[in-house]
Structure 1
Amino acid sequence: MHPSSGNPSGRFPELWCLLHRSSGNPSGRFPVLLGLLLTLFCRPDPCAGADLTIAVVLPEHNTSYPWAWPRVGPAVRRAVRGINARRDLLPGYTIKLTFGSSEDREGACSDSIAPLSAVDLKMGANPSLFLGPGCVYTAAPVARFTRHWGLPLLTAAAEAVGFGHKEAEFALTTRTGPSHGKLGEFGTRLSRRFGWTRRALLLYWDGHNDDRPCYFAAEGLYLQLPRLNITVEDIPFVESNYTALLGHVRQKARIVYVCCAPEVFRKLMLHAHREGLTAGEYAFFYVDLFGASLQGSVFPDRRLPWQRNDGDDAVAREAYKAVMIITYSEPTNPEYRPFLEEIKREARADYNFTMEDGLKNFIAAAFHDGVMLYAHAVNETLALEGSIANATAITPRMWNRTFYGVTGFMRIDPNGDRETDYSLWDMDPASGEFEIVANYNGTTKEIEMVAGKDIHWPGNAIPRDVPFCGFENSNPACRKASFSLLEILSLAMTLLLSIAIIAAFFVYRKMKLEKELAAELWRVHWEDVQSSNLEKNLRSMGSKLTLSLRGSNYGSLLTTEGQVQVYAKTAYYKGNLVAIKHVRRKRIDLARNVLFELKHMRDVQSKHLTRFIGACIDAPNICILTEYCTRGSLQVSLQNIAFPRTFHTFQILPFRHNPVDHVWHAPTLFLQILPKPKYAHWFAPQKVLVA
């Protein structure tokens, strides 16, 4: 039972003290009965100082957490000592602390251990306030319990956006430290300042273990950036296949927010540089809220987050030109540094822990200011005749107000969350050192550039959040002027396939031609030629012969008595009657051009031409075989036609005359004339093999 509940001593403590002391003294003015009655309604000795218990639920040993008790404990104890020493702050009350660990045996935050510790503290100490937890997964169940118990919960951690929903289960939760919803607000201000209104990408490491800090950090950006109608893509990653990861980056965005360990980020940027993503088209914002990549023995000591002395420093330095680092802003008020020195000494003396400089110390200072803020809220509630047990009255008094503490001016928004300040770091290309170029004021919602400092963009210009042609060549201007990558690849593949098919076709034709040339299908062996008795039989019938081309093997037989006429020397070849023209040559050179012409002559097929059968080159029987034409020669056809007297001669084709053998040469027609030509006689399309 709290000191101000159930009796009027909370309203008039001095009067009740006087009555209580007088009633307990036998020599006092009031009778003993009155003293007994007063004892029944009074708490035991409230004038000696009533206890106001604060239950702390935080990690006990794992100092890697910024809210671990060895880090936070000295700051909270300092706040308690300060409150208890002040006569104007909670007079008549003494604040006491009771502690319960939220970590398991391995030192990690446990969502099962923390609520059990909270229950034990509630049953054993009956606290008025719960301080902590800090981890997201441990704070959630404890905050639900405190809401059910009607007790306020104050923490300087638990940054997840979900704790900002104060309508029900987190209605009594107040956060005096940073929260990731405010990080999202900073991201929207950055986008507005640089003109990024269309696309952003969140790339964060998420191993689904411990408290998933990068997942919850990305959550704030993921929920806030769409308020500017920005399309936000997110890619969680745990694998080391950076090439494939950067391939997704190339397809989705140009403005990339990355959250991961410093070593992982450096490897990512080395691959990004090799992939050509650091030349100016991309901007990488490294979400390093506690400045781990800038941390040294004195913060910020090592301002060269790219340096590892491993042989890749030169490449990493070039890659980090496209990087800006986002951290919490370190308080600059005069009280902050002396405060840190004091809690460092206490941590070393009482917890055997050496606190180094860094942004993690900001959490301890925020817990200190949170306890002070709570004390003022309770003080104001009591001044209005309220009760310290009335959490629904005390909690709103911590919201929507500004409080000056060791972290400077602390602004708590109407939703019970602290307005968080952030710093933006950029690398000086000349020195390679990162330095603050801009600060974000969470209270005014403004980005303030540091005087004399400029952002160095790799391409000397702010990169576009969407390429001019879009990520899928969606810009109509680009579609008219060029092709998409897929279209170019398709066209190239089609062209290559067409070239391959055409080349294969010509190779096939070439091979087929060579095979046909080598086969010599036109060649006739003399032993396959059988002589014919047609001419002899016709002579015995009394036919009248007219021979042409004296000394030639060819002649023209013209009959005036019958219809049958023999105009060439004949023989049988493969059962077919053929005409034979002997060539007066001892040998024939089968040059390639001759083979081509022989093949072409054999391939010629027309009902208007006498078909070329083949040629025999077996000396001394060198000859040409053609189809025997039973309908007569051109001479006979011309004799049967009556021409006008004015028509004396005609030409069949333009040709040149060879005086040696009286043969007219043409590509496929062979003409032969009489010694005293009146008409040109056509025998057959025979190729003459003589010069």
Structure 2
Amino acid sequence: GELVAIKEFLNPSAKVSLSRSTLVKMKQLRDMQHNNVNTILGACIQKDRIRLVTLYCTKGSLQDVLENDNIKLDNSFKLSIATDIARGLHYIHGSPILFHGNLKSSNVVIDSRWVCKLTDFGGFHVKFVSANGEAGEYAEYSKLLWTAPEHLRGNKLGSVKGDIYSYGMILQEIILRGLPFCTTNYTPKGLIQIIDMVIARVDPPFRPQIPDGECSDDMLRLMQKCWRHDPLSRPTTQVIQKKLVAMNNGRSINIMDNMLKMMEKYANDLEDLVADRTRELNEEKKKTDELLYRMLPRIVAEQLKKGQTVTAESFEQVTIFFSDIVGFTALAASSTPLQVVSLLNDLYTCFDNVADMYDVYKVETIGDAYMVVSGLPIRNGNRHAGEVATFALDLLHCVRNFQIPHIPGKQLQLRIGLHSGPCVAGVVGLKMPRYCLFGDTVNYASRMESSGLGISLR
């Protein structure tokens, strides 16, 4: 099956059989075949109404497309639409129908390939009344915005030159993406005044205003020629097509070519967008990795990222460092919690900066206790003891120069314990996994620290 569109007209004569002239007209409409004219497949005649059957165009009318802000139309696309309409109008003007007679954006439909097709031509809107027409004075006057002045005064049937005037109004719609005279904020009463001013023989004639920069000078001049008050001075469809080709630098205008260009541009923009998003993703991944490497050794973190199980590992020789602050309990009791947090943050930031200069790994901090190790997770031969001892001496020097923010005159005293020996290290837990050390070496280092003196190391 094939989707079709049906438009109903009331049959004022209330006769099932139509006159010979009407049947001839319908035969002429049926015989019209052009890429930019919507094909009439047939008609269904009943006593009180006539139904015209045409091909269904999936994109709706040009008016629908222009009013949809989600559909982006560049200048090439607008030029293609204008060219399609001019081609269809040129075909109609050379056919037995002679003219469209009801040209406006709602009577230009767009198929799935974005080809514009003229519809509702042949004078049926004059001889028969639309069965689903809009009601109200405003709706009736709004239909006249596309009508040429000479037809507003009398002949409502239409003419070739009347179509050219209507085409100029559609060009304004394409450029501004609004109804004719859309730059004039008119009410229903104001709409009547607009129609009266269009009819009036004033110089210059009353026409839509195009803001500067909305279109090229060539397009503006073409619209103004189509709007001329004297019908004989308006251009023909052949001249219009030549002007449009000239605006495209002499190249033939094809809406499918423009669609392909738009798709290519969209693909390129999409590639750029994907590249930008990928770069942002990589930057965020780096930040995440850096945070993870601060919590776990790099080699362990890489294993966890790959989904591998991290097994505990034995190290024959490492050196473990413990330190705490002498009199920290009394200091904390005389300080607020925020002051304690600020103190420890400043102190451990200082310790971390020193640790970055040595081959040591910070294991954890618990309260005022600070623990590091050298020789794991990456073995460093016999250098582990020297690395930790030199690190400890540097910390003692830093503490001597450290000022407690809320007690400037008080001197911190750091107690340090070291021990070298074997150790087992592994990741403990699934939620917030920790890299922990086990063995007698850990216990010995802790006891060396707890039994030591302030501003010294054992």
Which bin holds the TM-score, normalised by the shorter protein? 0.3 to 0.5
Structure that is richer in helix per residue = 2
Larger RCO: Structure 1 or Structure 2 (Cα < 8 Å, ≥ 6 residues apart)? 2
Structure with higher Rg: it is 1
Question: TM-score, structure 1 length as denominator?
Answer: 0.25
Q: TM-score, normalised by structure 2?
A: 0.35
